[in-house]
Amino acid sequence: MATSAEIAIPQSAEDISPSWVQQVLQKDLPGIIITDVDVEGSINHGEGLMSDIIAFTAVGTRNGTSQRYSLVAKLTDFERPLTKFEGWSKVFQIKLETREVKFYSDAVPGLLSVATPSTERESKALKEDDDNHPPADSLFLPKCYFAATDPISMVSVRVMENLKTQGFSIKPKRQPLSREEMMLTVGALAQVHGLSHRLELRSGVPLPEKYDWIMTGADLDTTGAMAWLVPNYLLSLREFAESFPDQADLVARLEKLDPAREFLILEDARRTLKVLCQADCWVNNIMIKYAGDVPTDVKLVDWQTPNYMPPTYDLTFVFLCATSWDVFHNHRDAILAHYHRKLQETLDPNESSGLQSYTLEQLKADFKTDCLLGIFNCFLRLPADPDLRDPDLPRILREITEWGVL
């Protein structure tokens, strides 16, 4: 990934020039010469919230061979969130955008370093001369070539591979994930969680100390996030109550749920198994690739809110915010078992501590307990979200009530 030194941060699509793109790419692709850039414009209307995602194609040569790269520049948009959420502040948004920059520039190299020996990755990269795609070492997320923030304007930029041109897409109209799509998604989460745990064990330093920008449950209160999150939860709960007037007893239970308390419970000393969580794993942040109608690969996008939480935080998030009643009720155990298996495959077999001893039964028990946070996140997706009128949601909430945790 290119460093931010001497590389300007574009303020708009007009700043994406051949010389700028060449600066951005040359660290990962030494010898690259960009001769032309075709800027297609914004591609995220209706999907993005904090950023303007600008697609562009860069054309040039590398080591005498013609090259073509399909990329996106993700630029901070300070206007759009203010129209969506009451009480949203520019300061809060800057913190979120800066976290994603630090995630890509600081954490991702560390995760990759424990995923594949560096010598193997370097050898692989040297063989990419005649390939128009970036090295496939980015695992569960898009390849990022450059991430930085302008200290004056505070506009952040992340230059990444354009997943859409590789066949990845977000499910339209927030359709729930199928069993097969969930299998891929939890497999990607297992990779994030397992690699972050390996990185923590090898460095001997808790991730929030190694990367002081990673949020914990307590940070949500100290940063003022709860002052925005709780009112939006209550607003969505009112929308839910109006949509399901026959669920008064369920609404009464949900009104008693204290989000701040539930997040702080995760800071309890008894919950020592914590990992790097994506912490916003819903359908708009999951891009899926298909072979015909069969899902074959998943990439997780939008990393503005990386958190240090138990693994079940991400799992309850995706189950409550991205699945149907059928998947939640009939396929939950199989999906959790798949996650657990993929997690163990990601961990180092020579390291016997931590998640290596985390059993599937413990995972299932923690999942049920942490579904309270999944409920909270579900209601935060967007006030007046049509999904809140989905008849599947009361059925899911009823099942969680039967577990005795709501």
From first to last of its 406 residues, what are the pLDDT tens digits of the chain? 777 668 999 999 999 999 999 999 999 999 999 999 999 988 875 456 788 999 999 999 999 999 999 999 999 998 877 776 666 788 888 999 999 999 999 999 999 999 865 434 343 433 444 333 333 445 899 999 999 999 999 999 999 999 999 999 999 888 999 999 999 999 999 999 999 999 999 999 999 999 999 988 666 655 566 666 778 888 889 989 998 999 999 999 999 887 777 766 666 655 678 999 999 999 999 999 999 999 999 999 999 999 999 999 999 999 999 999 999 999 999 999 999 999 999 998 877 778 989 999 999 999 999 999 899 888 887 554 565 678 899 999 999 999 998 8
As a whole number of angstroms, the distance between CA 141 and CA 280 comes to 14
As a whole number of angstroms, the distance between CA 68 and CA 81 comes to 34
322-327: long-range contacts (C-beta < 8 A, 24 or more apart)?
322/176, 322/177, 322/182, 322/185, 322/281, 322/282, 322/283, 322/286, 323/176, 323/177, 323/182, 324/176, 324/392, 325/392, 325/395, 325/396, 327/176, 327/177, 327/178, 327/179, 327/182
The CA-atom distances, in angstroms, between 194 and each of 118, 187, 317 are 18, 10, 18
CATH among 1.10.3470, 1.10.10, 3.30.70, 3.90.1200 for 168-402: 3.90.1200
As a whole number of angstroms, the distance between CA 131 and CA 28 comes to 13
* Closest by Cα among 76, 328, 44 to 170: 44
Identify the helix (H) or strand (E) that includes residue 208.
Answer: helix 207-210
Identify the helix (H) or strand (E) that includes residue 156.
Answer: strand 156-161
As a whole number of angstroms, the distance between CA 293 and CA 230 comes to 39
As a whole number of angstroms, the distance between CA 47 and CA 65 comes to 36
13 in Cβ contact with 134 (< 8 Å): no
Query: What residue has token string 């006030």?
Result: 383
2 in Cβ contact with 27 (< 8 Å): yes
Range(s) within the chain of domains with CATH label 3.90.1200: 168-402
Main-chain dihedrals φ then ψ at residue 356, nearest 5 degrees: -60, -30
229 in Cβ contact with 92 (< 8 Å): no
Q: Which residues pair with 38 in a beta bridge?
A: 57
As a whole number of angstroms, the distance between CA 196 and CA 193 comes to 5
Q: Beta strand 32-42 with 294-300: parallel, antiparallel or unpaired? A: unpaired
